[in-house]
């Protein structure tokens, strides 16, 4: 059995070895013997022992020296050693043995019952130590597996986020969702001959806000603004989306320019009312937002992105004219018939 523990018995008197072997018969361990410290050390290189029974009195290298060498080696540093000694119970000798790394003592002539029970205790300790080491290795393996799984999950989550239609921070529709809705509503409006309106909104001096208050505060600000970007005037088909960093859009089917301006104005006031302190704003003490509104009855020769461009131009005008305001598309923005 590969799991059978091994005990090394070291004694320079072969007869003692024979006695010990017979006393330990049936203890559930493979018994190996050595007649010198040197032989014991070389056996240590070939075998992994659970316990050493080490004779103290040996010529050349005695038990203490052998134990000291075992303690010095990484592989045998924690190997339990029971000294077997014929010396009387002299405290000085015993202390020296413990310093050399003994965990216990047996005195010759060896009492068979004491020998067996001590050996059994050490074998049980060793069995538990090995079990713990195996469990710990298994646990390490599981932790590695879990970490790998976590990585996979994170990657899958990132992919899901990219595919998702919601902006993770604000909970509004994301740009992808907006682009899809724009295509759909554009076609629907064209079929029905109804106006489609787009509001583009942008937080004023947001870069400065992040610079002054940090990105965490910046994110909190985006969440607050997003919450009021759902204007109370909104109908089920209307869509509020986060377009980019601090840019938001409202897509308003079957709404004319005036209706879009109304909604934009509503949100502009709501943002003002949030009274978010903004020391980096050059137009007032609080955070504000600028809006550009564009509206068109879609026609074949136009592209949905034209609506985005025109609303964006209007937003640019709002910024140019001093921010915290709603501006609208210029005359003839969509060519004749707009």
Nearest CB to Mg ion, comparing residues 14 and 171: 14
Give the pair of three-digit tokens for residue 78.
Answer: 């924690």
246 in Cβ contact with 202 (< 8 Å): yes
Shortest spacing between CB 126 and Mg ion, in angstroms = 25
56 in Cβ contact with 84 (< 8 Å): yes
Q: Which of 25, 48, 162, 246 is flagged as catalytic? A: 246
Of 255, 258, 263, nearest to 189 by C-alpha is 255
Q: Is 252 helix (H, G, I), strand (E, B) or coil?
A: strand
Shortest spacing between CB 16 and Mg ion, in angstroms = 7
* Alpha-carbon gap, residue 118 to 101, rounded angstroms: 17
Nearest CB to Mg ion, comparing residues 17 and 229: 17
Active site residue 246: yes
Shortest spacing between CB 13 and Mg ion, in angstroms = 5
Report the Cα 58 to chain-centroid distance in Å. Answer: 58
End-to-end CA distance of the chain: 91
Nearest CB to Mg ion, comparing residues 62 and 220: 62
Nearest CB to Mg ion, comparing residues 84 and 199: 84
Residues that bind Mg ion (CB under 5 A): 12, 55, 57-58
Give the pair of three-digit tokens for residue 91.
Answer: 């405290």
Nearest CB to Mg ion, comparing residues 108 and 130: 108
Looking up tokens 């089920």 gives: 236
Give the pair of three-digit tokens for residue 33.
Answer: 């013997």
Q: Is 174 helix (H, G, I), strand (E, B) or coil?
A: coil
* Alpha-carbon gap, residue 294 to 316, rounded angstroms: 12
Which single residue brings its beta carbon nearest to Mg ion?
57
Shortest spacing between CB 57 and Mg ion, in angstroms = 4
17 in Cβ contact with 53 (< 8 Å): no
Residues counted in the chain: 338
Nearest CB to Mg ion, comparing residues 70 and 221: 70
Of 275, 272, 270, 220, nearest to 250 by C-alpha is 270
Shortest spacing between CB 55 and Mg ion, in angstroms = 4
275 in Cβ contact with 225 (< 8 Å): no
* Alpha-carbon gap, residue 270 to 240, rounded angstroms: 15
Looking up tokens 């949100």 gives: 267
Shortest spacing between CB 94 and Mg ion, in angstroms = 17
Catalytic residue numbers read: 246
């Amino acid at each position: 059995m590969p799991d059978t523990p091994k005990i090394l018995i070291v004694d320079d008197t072969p007869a003692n070895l024979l006695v010990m072997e017979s006393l330990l018969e049936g203890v559930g361990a493979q018994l190996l013997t050595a007649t010198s410290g040197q032989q014991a050390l070389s056996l240590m290189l070939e075998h992994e022992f659970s316990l050493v029974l080490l004779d103290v009195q040996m010529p050349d290298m005695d038990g203490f020296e052998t134990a000291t060498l075992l303690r010095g080696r990484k592989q045998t540093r924690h190997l339990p050693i029971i000294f077997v000694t014929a010396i009387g119970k002299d405290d000085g000798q015993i202390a020296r043995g413990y310093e050399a790394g003994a965990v216990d003592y047996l005195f010759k002539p060896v009492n068979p019952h004491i020998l067996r029970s001590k050996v059994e205790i050490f074998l049980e300790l060793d069995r538990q130590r090995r079990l713990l080491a195996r469990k710990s290795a298994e646990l390490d393996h599981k932790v590695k597996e879990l970490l790998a799984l976590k990585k996979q999950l994170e990657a899958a989550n990132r992919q899901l986020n990219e595919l998702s239609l919601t902006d993770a921070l604000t909970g509004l529709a994301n740009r992808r969702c907006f682009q899809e809705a724009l295509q759909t509503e554009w076609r629907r409006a064209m079929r029905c001959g109804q106006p489609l309106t787009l509001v583009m909104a942008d937080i004023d001096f947001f870069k400065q806000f992040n610079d002054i208050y940090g990105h965490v505060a910046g994110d909190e600000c985006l969440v607050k603004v997003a919450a009021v970007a759902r204007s109370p005037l909104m109908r089920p088909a209307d869509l509020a989306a986060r377009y980019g960093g601090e840019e938001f859009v409202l897509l308003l089917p079957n709404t004319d320019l005036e209706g879009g301006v109304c909604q934009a104005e509503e949100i502009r006031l709501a943002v003002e009312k949030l009274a978010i302190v903004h020391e980096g704003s050059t137009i007032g003490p609080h955070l504000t937002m600028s809006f550009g509104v564009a509206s068109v009855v879609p026609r074949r020769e136009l592209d949905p992105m034209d609506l985005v461009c025109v609303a964006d131009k209007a937003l640019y005008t709002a910024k140019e004219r001093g921010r915290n305001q709603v501006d609208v598309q210029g005359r003839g923005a969509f060519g004749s018939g707009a």
